[in-house]
């Protein structure tokens, strides 16, 4: 049986437990692991000047929007603005 390597992203280097990451870092890692093409959107949210709580809210809104093409939070700028409000 082949053991799959844990994916490495900017937020998780594969050497520490995922549980040690903050909730927004866990979401960022999961999204980019599943959808590498979304890395620029995830980076925009993670690099925005937000409180930890607002960053978590923006990442959650963006993550939840991925299953709904009509959700405005698919645009990371909207997710950030909504988290700041």
Extents of the domains making up the chain: 21-84
Q: What is the largest CA-CA distance in the chain?
A: 49
Residue 17's CB: how many other CB atoms inside 10 A?
Answer: 7
Least confident range of 2-11, 15-24, 27-36: 2-11
Q: What is the pLDDT of residue 4?
A: 56
Predicted model pTM: 0.85
Using pLDDT thresholds of 50, 70 and 90, give the confidence band for residue 81.
Answer: very high
Contact 73, 61 (CB under 8 A): yes
CA distance 30 to 11: 10
11 vs 42: which has the higher pLDDT: 42
Mean pLDDT rounded to a whole number for the chain: 89
Contact 49, 23 (CB under 8 A): no
Q: Which helix (H) or strand (E) holds 6?
A: none
């Amino acid at each position: 049986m082949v053991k799959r390597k844990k994916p490495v992203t900017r937020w998780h280097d594969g050497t520490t437990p995922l549980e040690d990451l903050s909730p927004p870092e866990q979401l960022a890692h999961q999204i980019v692991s599943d959808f590498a093409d979304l890395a620029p959107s995830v980076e925009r949210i993670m690099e925005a000047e937000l409180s930890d709580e607002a960053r978590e809210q923006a990442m959650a809104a963006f993550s939840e929007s991925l299953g709904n093409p009509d959700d405005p939070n698919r645009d990371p700028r909207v997710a950030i603005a909504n988290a700041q409000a």
